[in-house]
Amino acid sequence: MAAETDPTFDGGSELRRRKLLGQVFEGVLVASTLVGVLALVALFVLIGNDALGPAEADASWFLLYFVTLVAPTSVYTLLVRRDEVASSINGLSFATVFGSLIGSAVVYVVVDSVRPHDVAIYLVVGSLFPALVLAYNRITGGSHYTGPALPVSILFGLVSARILYPFIIPVISIVADWILFVVVVTGPVAAGLGLFVTSRWSRRYGAVTAVAVLGATLATAGVAITQGIDPALSVVLVSVVAGPVAVVSLDTFKRRETGRYGLLGPWLLIGGIVAGAWLERQLGIEGLETWLTPTLLLNSWSSFRPEQAGIYPQLVGSVLVVGTMAVLSFPVGVGAAIYLEEYAPSTGWRGRLATALDVNISNLAGVPSVVYGLLGLALFQNFFGVAPWLPRALGLKPSLVIAAAATLGLLILPIVIVSSQEALRSVPDELRQGSYGLGASRWQTIRNVVLPEAVPGILTGMILALGRAIGETAPLVIIGVATTTYSAPEGVFGSAAALPLQIFASAANSIPEYRTGVVAAASVILLATMLIMNSTAILIRNRYENN
């Protein structure tokens, strides 16, 4: 009543004051958020600027790339975004082209550094027994034993490969490297693509695809030999890149009526860069003064000549270490998550044990990474002082690829377990019930219903864990992996190397070209890897959440 009789009561200015306060508060919140974002932008811009050196480039250089690259891709992106079908085809096309390009680089580099002979022996002998098991399964129509027999046969195959190794190696070492690349890379790729096409179209097309991939690869290798080029790389490129890209493009072309132009995306990007580079040379335009050069990617490290320093050994080392880690750690992590989510009861002593395990895992996730380094050191140096002979007898040292991989594997185990648990938990219980109601056992339910549903979530967690492992430095320093390396590791029992270690070793180098050049470029590579992994994970997650 008082307010009505007195329209100028104090609430007016009081309210205005509070409104202003609220605006100031919101302003402070936005400002602090911006500080975080700006720090991120500053990091990328400053390091990127030093690595790429755009300041030295001529204005016409920017114009050139605007015409060849930026303008076409922008127009194309606007077009594609309007059309849902084209946009999904575009995504598929980008994933295929760049995924296979990265895949081929990784495959080539790993097989090359591990030596194609060794890979061939282990792959061929190792897959012999599993193939027999699968064939038996096919003929008899399946039995209870084939499931457990498969991993056992793989193990058996690897062991027999190890035993037969000295007998095979003299025979196989006569064979040229590129033929082994055909066996190791083209064979599986052709078989895989053949099976894919068989499932999508027909058995006949599948056979045609497999033969075509094999034929194209051999033809390219033949041309390369006559031109005097090493055919190994072209074998890998044709099999791993051209094969899948052709299959996916043809498949899309046949299945989709509209939006086929979505396939063009990656080619516009690649074409723009190639055309720009060609014109830049033809017209003699002053380009970027970049440290991100083929030299950097393909050379070995040099401690005194920054312009010759390369990080090839470190790149190979990172790929090998992280790949081995994935093989060692992911199955265990997913297995543990399956036990905790699907098997462990909530009551009784088993239930209490499961709760204890959950608490333990969340504590492990908080253990500093240096401590994992100390664990790896104790484990591979003298086996906790209990059995110093054991690591030696197994040929293990803390600085080997396998030891580094195992150490990082233990480090990321909690991450993999927790993210897999979340993925499993998000599978609706109704599906499990439906499966049990049809007389499926627990394992059958997990394998046929739960895991397929949880795969995108598990995959997301795995990619994020890989991203974490690729940048991990401290544990590797502790276990004594050399920070500066001049040659790539020779297989999983070779000396480890890793890209972040080189950044660590050279960040304070007294030659300024290292600090603001080579190291910046190496950091850009590490950052780009991390960004690609994170955005892949985010894309998978979004797609999965939308469905």
Partner 1 sequence: MSEQTETTSSTAAQRPEVNTESSGGQFEGKTVLESRDLDVYYGETQALQDVSLQIPEKQVTAMIGPSGCGKSTFLRCLNRMNDLVDTAHIEGDVFFNGKNIYADDVESVALRRRIGMVFQHPNPFPKTIYDNVAYGLRVQNNEVTDDIIEDSLRRAALWDEVKDQLDTSALDLSGGQQQRLCIARAIAVDPDVILMDEPASALDPIATSKIEDLIEELAEEYTVVIVTHNMQQAARISDKTAVFLTGGELVEFDDTNKIFENPENQRVEDYITGKFG
Partner 2 sequence: MSDREMTTLQRDGVAVTKERLYRLLLAGCAALTLAVTSGIIIALLGGTVSFFSEVSIVAYLTGTEWSPVINGKFGVLPLLSGTLVITVVSAVVALPIGLSIAVYLSEYATPKVRSVLKPALEILAAIPTVVYGYFALVYVTPFLDDVLPLDFGTFNALSAGVAVGLVIIPMVSSISEDAISSVPDSLRNAAYGLGSTKFDVSTKVVVPAATSGIVSSYVLALSRAIGETMIVVIAAGLSPKMPFFPDVLKNLTNSVQTITSGIVQVAGAENASGVLLNAMFALGMTLFVLTLTMNILAEAVRRRYREEYS
Site for partner 2 in 151-180 (CB under 8 A): none
Q: Verify binding: residue 435, partner 1, rule CB under 8 A.
A: yes
Q: Which range binds partner 1 by CB under 8 A, 43-51, 194-202, 308-316, 342-350?
A: 342-350
Q: Which of 116, 287, 480, 489 forms a contact with partner 2 (CB under 8 A)?
A: 480
Q: Quote the least distance from Cβ 427 to partner 1, whole Å.
A: 10
Nearer to partner 2, 47 or 64 (CB): 47
Length of the chain: 547
Backbone angles phi, psi at 485, to 5 degrees: -130, 145
Residue type, 7: P
Q: Quote the least distance from Cβ 458 to partner 1, whole Å.
A: 16
Q: Verify binding: residue 467, partner 2, rule CB under 8 A.
A: yes
355 contact, one of partner 1, partner 2, none, CB 5-8 Å limit per kind: none
Q: Verify binding: residue 500, partner 2, rule CB under 8 A.
A: yes
Q: Quote the least distance from Cβ 28 to partner 2, whole Å.
A: 7
Q: How far apart are CA 530 and CA 470, in angstroms?
A: 8
Q: Verify binding: residue 9, partner 2, rule CB under 8 A.
A: no
Angle of CA points 24, 29, 30, to nearest 5°: 95
Q: Quote the least distance from Cβ 541 to partner 1, whole Å.
A: 17
Q: Which range binds partner 2 by CB under 8 A, 175-183, 205-213, 256-264, 499-507?
A: 499-507
**Three-state secondary structure readout of 213-231:** HHHHHHHHHHHHHHHCCCH
Q: Verify binding: residue 508, partner 2, rule CB under 8 A.
A: yes
Q: Verify binding: residue 317, partner 2, rule CB under 8 A.
A: no
Q: Verify binding: residue 344, partner 2, rule CB under 8 A.
A: yes
Q: How far apart are CA 536 and CA 519, in angstroms?
A: 25
Q: How far apart are CA 355 and CA 338, in angstroms?
A: 14
Interface mask toward partner 2 for 47-66; x: CB under 8 A? x-------------------
Q: Verify binding: residue 353, partner 1, rule CB under 8 A.
A: no
Q: Verify binding: residue 540, partner 2, rule CB under 8 A.
A: no
Q: Verify binding: residue 431, partner 1, rule CB under 8 A.
A: yes
Q: Is 27 exposed, middle or buried (0-12, 13-18, 19+ CB in 10 A)?
A: exposed
Q: Are 184 and 112 in contact (CB under 8 A)?
A: no
Q: How far apart are CA 98 and CA 301, in angstroms?
A: 27
440 contact, one of partner 2, partner 1, none, CB 5-8 Å limit per kind: partner 1
Q: Which of 430, 508, 510, 512 forms a contact with partner 1 (CB under 8 A)?
A: 430
Q: Verify binding: residue 345, partner 1, rule CB under 8 A.
A: yes
Q: Verify binding: residue 439, partner 1, rule CB under 8 A.
A: yes
Q: Verify binding: residue 339, partner 2, rule CB under 8 A.
A: yes
Q: Verify binding: residue 438, partner 2, rule CB under 8 A.
A: no
Site for partner 1 in 128-147 (CB under 8 A): 141-142
Q: Verify binding: residue 355, partner 1, rule CB under 8 A.
A: no
Half-sphere exposure of 509 (CA within 13 A, CB side): 23
254 contact, one of partner 2, partner 1, none, CB 5-8 Å limit per kind: none
Q: How far apart are CA 221 and CA 227, in angstroms?
A: 10
Q: Verify binding: residue 321, partner 2, rule CB under 8 A.
A: no
Q: Verify binding: residue 10, partner 1, rule CB under 8 A.
A: no
Q: Verify binding: residue 390, partner 2, rule CB under 8 A.
A: no
Q: Quote the least distance from Cβ 444 to partner 1, whole Å.
A: 5
Q: Are 325 and 408 in contact (CB under 8 A)?
A: yes
Q: Quote the least distance from Cβ 430 to partner 1, whole Å.
A: 4
Q: Quote the least distance from Cβ 92 to partner 1, whole Å.
A: 19
Count residues binding partner 2 (CB under 8 A): 91
Beta bridge mates, 94: none
Q: Are 473 and 501 in contact (CB under 8 A)?
A: yes
The C-alpha R_g of the chain, in whole angstroms, comes to 28
Site for partner 2 in 27-46 (CB under 8 A): 28-30, 32-33, 35-37, 39-40, 42-43, 46
Question: If you write DSSP's letter for every residue of 165-217 in order, what string do you get?
Answer: HHHHHHHHTTS-HHHHHIIIIIHHHHHHHHHHHHHHS-HHHHHHHHHHHHHHH
Residue 532: which residues within 8 A CB-CB, separation 6 or more? none
Question: Tokens 């430095």 correspond to what residue?
Answer: 473
Q: Which two tokens stand for residue 241?
A: 């890149």
**Sign of the CA dihedral 74, 80, 82, 88?**
negative
Distances 502 to 316, 317, 485, 512 between C-alpha atoms, Å: 13, 11, 8, 16
Q: Which two tokens stand for residue 341?
A: 């989510």
Q: Which range binds partner 1 by CB under 8 A, 44-52, 166-174, 341-349, 531-539?
A: 341-349
The distance from CA 425 to its chain's CA centroid, rounded to whole angstroms, is 25
Q: Which two tokens stand for residue 353?
A: 């044990």
Nearer to partner 1, 131 or 455 (CB): 455
Site for partner 2 in 366-385 (CB under 8 A): 366-375, 377-379, 384-385
Q: Is 489 exposed, middle or buried (0-12, 13-18, 19+ CB in 10 A)?
A: buried
Residue 535: which residues within 8 A CB-CB, separation 6 or more? none
3-state SS assignment for residue 347:
coil
Site for partner 2 in 401-430 (CB under 8 A): 410, 413-414, 417
Q: Verify binding: residue 326, partner 2, rule CB under 8 A.
A: no
Nearer to partner 2, 348 or 366 (CB): 366
Nearer to partner 2, 425 or 515 (CB): 515
Question: Which of 186, 213, 209 has its CA nearest to residue 197?
Answer: 209
Q: How far apart are CA 482 and CA 489, in angstroms?
A: 11
322 contact, one of partner 1, partner 2, none, CB 5-8 Å limit per kind: none
Q: Verify binding: residue 464, partner 2, rule CB under 8 A.
A: yes
Q: Verify binding: residue 448, partner 1, rule CB under 8 A.
A: yes
List residues binding partner 1 (CB under 8 A).
141-142, 345-348, 351, 428, 430-441, 444, 448-449, 452-453
